[in-house]
Amino acid sequence: MKNTLKNVLLTSAISLIMAGCASNPEQIVENSAAPISAASTNDYPTRDRVEFVLNCVAQHGGLNYINQYACGCKIDKIAEKLNFNDFESAKTFSYLKSMAGENGAMARDPKQSKDLRKQLKEAEEAAEKSCFVK
C-alpha cells in the first residue's frame, strides 16, 4: 500500500516537473496591473511548485487527477500575478501574522506585509475560481 502511494506521488511530481519544463519562456502573460513576462512567471523553483501542488491536493481531499490538475493550474495562475519573491514574502508574512504581541506586529502591521498578503489572497481566490470545478 505504501509503495503504491509513493509511486503515485512520484509519478505526480514527475508529471508536474515535465509540465513546468515544457513552457515557452518567450511568451508574455497579461495582467491587469502590469504585464509579467513568462520568464518571471517561471521564476518559481520546481521544488516549490511541487510542494504547493502536493499541499493543495491534500487540502482538497487527496490525490486524484482532477485535484492534481486543478492545483497545478492554481500555482500557475498565482505565478501570473506574483513573482516568486513576492509570493514567498506574502506566505511568510501570512504565517507570522498570527504571532501574538510585538513580534507578530512586525509581520502584521507594515504596509508591505498588508499589501503582499492582500495580493496573495486575491491571486489565490481568483486561481481557485478559475481552476476548480464546483
Which of 25-29, 75-79, 87-91, 110-114 is predicted least confidently? 25-29
How would residue 97 be classed by pLDDT, with cut points 50, 70 and 90? confident
Contact 57, 111 (CB under 8 A): no
Contact 75, 64 (CB under 8 A): no
* Residue 54 or residue 20, greater confidence: 54
Beta-carbon count within 10 A of 17 CB:
14
What is the percent of the chain with per-residue pLDDT over 90, rounded to a whole number?
49
| Structure-block grid coordinates of residue 56 | 493543495
